[in-house]
């Protein structure tokens, strides 16, 4: 028996990761096209944006979570209520990648579904790299079967692509992506030197 995957008119995305990896910076770059270099500790913030798509309203909720892990109950609730997840680490902080691995395990445990939509984001590529992109790519796409990309909230690299991937995996209407492109057409032209976005193309066997 086959089931039709219905597009959602309301979706919740949650950003998880260690403190200081740039979760808030990525969200602010996407929503406001701004960047604040000074780190500000986040407890939990919910951002809500409405879009008109083909005469239908689509609501996108973006949850920005604490990286201090001092609120495990809040984090578990965020996981339970969310549709897709961004697991963010910083390419200049190997310990933050280990946090991503732990968070992924927690998400799969709470959701009880190993095919939960997850996008792993290596942020801060504007800094000196201490984490190999090839190693992470192999783990995320081949072992975990998730999408992976690297970004810079500071230099505005792959920020829009990250959100488009999250929305696509969360089954929002496909026409929302072009709408986002039009809304963000004031973006500066992206550098040809940016790292390519990698997508999972492997087949899943059930």
Q: State the CATH number of the domain containing residue 110.
A: 3.40.50.300
What is the pTM assigned to this prediction? Answer: 0.79
Matching residue, tokens 């190993």: 114
Q: Is residue 92 part of a domain?
A: yes
Instruction: Kindly tell me if the per-residue pLDDT of 143 is higher than 90.
Output: yes
State which residues form the domain around 106: 10-183
* pLDDT higher than 50, residue 186: no
**Tokens 């969200």 -> residue:** 27
Residue 50 contacts residue 59 (beta carbons within 8 Å):
yes
Please indicate, yes or no, if residue 24 is contained in any of the structural domains: yes
Nearest to 103 by CA among 82, 125, 130: 82
In a domain, 23, yes or no: yes
Determine, yes or no, domain membership for 5: no
Query: Using one digit for the tens of pLDDT, what is the confidence trace for 64-100?
Result: 987 765 667 777 888 998 999 999 999 999 999 999 9
- Checking phi first, is residue 23 left (phi over 0); if not, alpha (psi -120 to 50) or beta? alpha
Identify the residue with better confidence: 194 or 171: 171
Q: Is 1 within the bounds of a domain?
A: no
The C-alpha atoms of residue 110 and residue 93 are separated, in whole angstroms, by 26
Nearest C-alpha neighbor of 158 from the set 199, 118, 128: 199
């Amino acid at each position: 028996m086959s089931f039709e995957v219905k597009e959602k008119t309301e979706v919740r995305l949650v950003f998880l990761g260690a403190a200081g990896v740039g979760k808030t910076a990525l969200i602010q770059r996407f929503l406001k096209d701004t960047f604040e270099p000074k780190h500000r500790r986040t407890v939990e913030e919910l951002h809500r944006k409405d879009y008109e798509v083909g005469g239908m309203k689509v609501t996108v909720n973006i949850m920005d979570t604490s990286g201090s892990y001092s609120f495990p109950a809040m984090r578990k609730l965020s996981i339970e209520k969310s549709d897709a997840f961004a697991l963010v680490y910083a390419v200049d902080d190997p310990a933050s990648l280990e946090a991503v691995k732990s968070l992924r395990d927690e998400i799969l445990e709470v959701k009880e579904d190993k095919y939960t939509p997850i996008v792993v984001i290596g942020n801060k590529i504007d800094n000196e790299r201490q984490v190999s992109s090839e190693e992470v790519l192999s783990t995320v796409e081949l072992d975990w079967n998730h999408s992976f990309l690297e970004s810079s909230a500071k230099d505005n690299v792959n920020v829009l692509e990250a959100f488009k991937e999250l929305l696509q995996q969360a089954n929002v209407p496909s026409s929302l992506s072009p709408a986002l492109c039009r809304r963000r057409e004031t973006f500066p032209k992206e550098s040809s030197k940016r790292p390519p976005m990698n997508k999972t193309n492997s087949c899943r066997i059930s």
